[in-house]
Structures are given as structure tokens and as C-alpha cells.
Amino acid sequence: MAETVNAGQVRVGDRVARLEISGAWLVDPVAGREGPGEIVVRDGVLEAVTWLEGADAEGVGPGGVVVAAGFLDLHVHLREPGNEDAETVASGLAAAAHGGFTTVCAMANTTPAADEPGVFARVRAAAAASGSPVELLLHGAVTVGRGGERLAALGELADAGAVGFSDDGSPVQSAVILRNALLYAGMLGIPLFEHAEDPVLTAGAEANEGYVATVLGLKGWPVAGEVAAVERAIAVLVAVLPDAPRARLHLTHLSTAGALDAVRRAKAAGLPVTCDVTPHHLGLTDEWVAGARRWAWEALDGDGAARDPWADGALVAHPYATACKVNPPLRAAEDAAAVLAALVDGTADAVATDHAPHTQVDKEAEFGLAANGISGVETALGVLLAAVGARRLTLARAIEALTVGPARVLGARAGGRGGARGLTEGAPADLVVLDVGAAWTVSPEALASRGRNTPLLGRDLPGRVLVTVAGGRLAYRDPEA
């Protein structure tokens, strides 16, 4: 690969005057095309996309430098306002750019919650002040203060640009509220993003219900807690569709075979249901809580059943690492395999990170008391590429699930960045350049996020991001490239 970025001195936020990448593997998920090629960016515009053939294409494959459309994350927590020790809009956007994302959608569970346009204005002001060119889209809360009792002013939030409505962090607890929310959001043509959890079934839960939790003495979070919530939400959607034919239900961070089967059936029935899955639910399993560190696909035996990490010597780290505590929890290997299968077959429309940074204080606690969440926006690509490397996923599908997949979930509100537009000549450049063959070590110093709460710390991940260009401006550049 030959790379020229305008003579080194360009800073984050600056228009990219000149960037030429040749001998790369291009992935344009919108055109559904991948292959050897080169690109030229001039004055922030993707001036040329050239697909190479014959001798010019020789030796260029998907295992080296890849240029893809900029990624879109449907689900991040940026913690501002209210918990800037864990993350700020500025650090979150920097982390996103390091992960290859040029658009992120922030969840509404800030303090105060994003339940009125004034909070949107504060978050947008922080984004503008950060100088980051990463586009920040916003979810509005479903209920006032995410309290679950009164609907927030959804119309005002829609006018202020909300791309989705969600009480994420918690489910919409009452079915009556869920019904009204789907009805009003449907009238506005905006999807409702549901965190699917039956709180009665998960009260006090600490880890996935099953063998690992039993051995470790942790209270179980049963699969049924997610399946029941998904089935309830789909049933409520069916009930409102006659009155709100534009209603759309999006189920975020699904983690179980049963929930994904329910979505598969709903889609087959033609219902307007979409869903996303996270990298950690397809790549990691509950045995990580016990101290295993192998990928989910390595934790299955030949019959597709979870292996016993105590029996086969897979435990290499201390048990009860709170970096593994997340909601929904890391699941058994069979469920992780079902999550990956759903991504492969299209049941899952998108990969979303559920990037959930926390302070050390909130994680340095007894396992059951530690905050839930994994700081994941910088490691998502690496986990997916590990699955690609293990031949469990294609590069094209991984990129699609980070770009057009999530853009379609948002529809017209997705904006016009790489995820929605692909590698389009004449448009502002919105792309990521990565080296699939180069690994990087996940270390506190390597992370731009304030949240270092990831069980991947210390691990080498494939797919070093070299350059991220967002809306024609430099969002990230590998300091060593």
C-alpha cells in the first residue's frame, strides 16, 4: 500500500486536503462491492474511487489494508451530562474515531436524561466544542426522567432531531407505556429502541444463569428474561400497527438464541422489527467471568455445546473480573454462537457496541455490586475481525453490519455519512482505512475512551485503524503510521 496524507501536520478536525491510498482492498457496502482498488481524497471530497483489475490488482487481498465506508454505531453511552469522570462527549467521539466510527448514536440515560430538547442542545454544544468531526446523533428518552411512568415529549424530541426513542439502561417497564410509546413514535416514523429485559426475572442478577454462575455462586440472569421481553414487545407492536402503520420496533443488544429466533419469526411474518447485537455477546462468553479468555467459537465442542473451562484448562485469568460484568450478561457459548449466526444470516441488522464506559471506582467493587458495562467502541472492529479470521464471518458482512445495516435501521434520520452512502465519488469523504493484518494491543494508553473497563485489556486484536475520515475531516490517525 502507498499512503499519502497531506504531509503529516493535519490535526483532528482539519479538512483532509489530500489522502491517497493505493493497492488497498475497498469495501463499499452500499454498492455491495469489494475488491482491489485505490482512492483519492482532495479537499475533504472523495474525488476518485478506482477499482483495479488484472495485473494492477495482483497481490491485493482482504487481509491487508482495507478502505471501508465510515462506521455507524446505533448504541453508545457518552455519559455527558452527569458522569464526565466516566466519559465526555469529546473523549467518546475520539474513542469512536479510533474504532473506525464516523457516526454514533448516544443513548438518553445521562443525568439528566435526554427527555427534552434542552439536553440535546447541551450534548450538541459539547460535540461542537470537542472539534471532532464524528457525527453525533441522539436518542431521546421514552419516559420523563426514564422513570417509566409518563411519556416524554416525543414530538418535541423528534423536532429536535431524535433518531430513536429509548429508556435504555432499563426496559420500558409498563406494557401500557410501551404501547403508547410505539404508537406515538410510530406516528413520528421513529423507531423505538428497546432494551429487552423482564426486571422481575432478572432482579438481583449478577451473571448469565447457568453452569458458570452456579459454580461461581453468582445469581443468574435467565435467558427467559430477554426472550419474554422480546416477545412482549413484538406482541405490543402487533397491537399498535393498525393505528400506527409506521411503528417500528428495534431490539438492541440481543444476546440469546431464543430472542433472536423470535426476531427471525417476526421478520418472516413481515413485521417492522429490527435488532442489533454487540461484539462482546458474539465474541465473549460467561466463562470469561470464571477466568477463561478464549473466543466464543473456541468454547464450543464438536457438537456445538459449551465446553467446561474447569475441565479443559481454559482458565487463565482471575475469576470475578468486573470488566466482564455487563447487562445483558455474557452468555453461554451456545447463545454466543446463535448471536453470531443471527449476524451472519441477517436476522441481526447491525452490530452496535453498547459502549458503556465506567470509572474505576464504579468497577472496583464486589462482582454483584460493580457497574454493568464494557467500554467497547474501540474494540468492536477487532472482535469482528477475530471472527473473520476464524472464518466465522465474512469481512463484507462485518462491514455491512457496521454501515448500511445500522443506517437502514435509522432510515431517513441516518444522516449522509459513509454508513448510509458508501464510497461515493464526489461526496465528502467518510471512510476508515485499516490494516487487517496488523494487530494492536488493547492497553489503557491505547484507548481514547476514559472507560478502560474492558476484559480485552492486554489482548492483541487484529485490524489496526490507520486513518478515520469523517465528513471530509480527519477524525483519527494512527500515531505510529
The catalytic residues are 354
In the complex with Zn ion, the residue whose CB is nearer, 372 or 468, is 372
Question: In terms of CB distance, is 195 or 473 closer to Zn ion?
Answer: 195
Minimum distance, C-beta of residue 195 to Zn ion, in the bound complex (Å): 4
Our finding on whether 276 is near Zn ion (CB under 5 A) is no
C-alpha to C-alpha distance for 122 and 116, rounded to whole angstroms: 11
Site for Zn ion in 297-356 (CB under 5 A): none
Helix (H) or strand (E) holding 202: helix 199-202
Q: Please report which helix (H) or strand (E) contains residue 431, including its range.
A: strand 431-441
The DSSP code sequence of 288-299 is HHHTB-S-GGGS
CA dist., res. 149 & res. 63, Å (int)? 51
- Cross-strand pairs, 252: 195
Burial class (CB in 10 A: 0-12, 13-18, 19+), 2: exposed
Can residue 195 be called a binding residue for Zn ion (CB under 5 A)? yes
Instruction: Kindly indicate which of the ranges 57-65, 156-164, 188-196, 458-466 contains the residues binding Zn ion, using the contact rule CB under 5 A.
Output: 188-196
Minimum distance of Zn ion from residue 169's CB (angstroms): 6
**Shortest approach of Zn ion to residue 328 CB, angstroms?**
8
197 binds Zn ion (CB under 5 A): no
Residues with Cβ within 8 Å of 243's Cβ and at least 6 positions away in sequence, in order, are 183
Under rule CB under 5 A, residue 435 binds Zn ion: no
Asked if 226 interacts with Zn ion (CB under 5 A), we say: no
135-140 vs 460-470, strand pairing mode: unpaired
| 255 vs 468, beta carbon nearer Zn ion | 255
Q: Closest distance between Zn ion and the C-beta of residue 373, in Å?
A: 9
Q: Could you tell me the three cell numbers for 379?
A: 474494540
Residue 168 in the binding site for Zn ion (CB under 5 A): yes
Q: Toward Zn ion, which CB reaches closer, 168 or 209?
A: 168
73 binds Zn ion (CB under 5 A): no
Compute CA 317 distance to the chain's CA centroid, rounded to the nearest angstrom: 26
Give the side-chain half-sphere CA count within 13 A for 10. Answer: 25
In the numeric block, which cell numbers belong to residue 147?
422513570
In the complex with Zn ion, the residue whose CB is nearer, 38 or 335, is: 335
**Which of 417, 436, 479, 481 lies closest to 44 in space, CA to CA?**
417
Per the CB < 8 A criterion, the answer to whether 144 and 111 are in contact is no
Kindly indicate which of the ranges 55-63, 115-123, 168-176, 396-404 contains the residues binding Zn ion, using the contact rule CB under 5 A: 168-176
Q: Of 273, 277, 276, 253, give the one whose Cα is nearest residue 264.
A: 273
Among the listed ranges 164-172, 216-224, 375-383, 463-471, the one in contact with Zn ion (CB under 5 A) is: 164-172
Q: Which of residues 347-366 bind Zn ion (CB under 5 A)?
A: none
For Zn ion, the closer of residues 34 and 87 by Cβ is 87
Choices 81-89, 146-154, 187-195, 381-389; region in contact with Zn ion by CB under 5 A: 187-195
CB of 77 to Zn ion, least distance (A): 9
User: How far apart are alpha carbons 88 and 95 in whole angstroms?
Assistant: 10
Minimum CB–partner distance for residue 171 and Zn ion (Å):
8
User: Interface with Zn ion by CB under 5 A: which range of 42-50, 96-104, 124-132, 191-199?
Assistant: 191-199
> What type of residue sits at position 165?
F
Please give the size of the binding site for Zn ion, defined by CB under 5 A.
Answer: 2
Interface ranges with Zn ion (CB under 5 A)? 168, 195
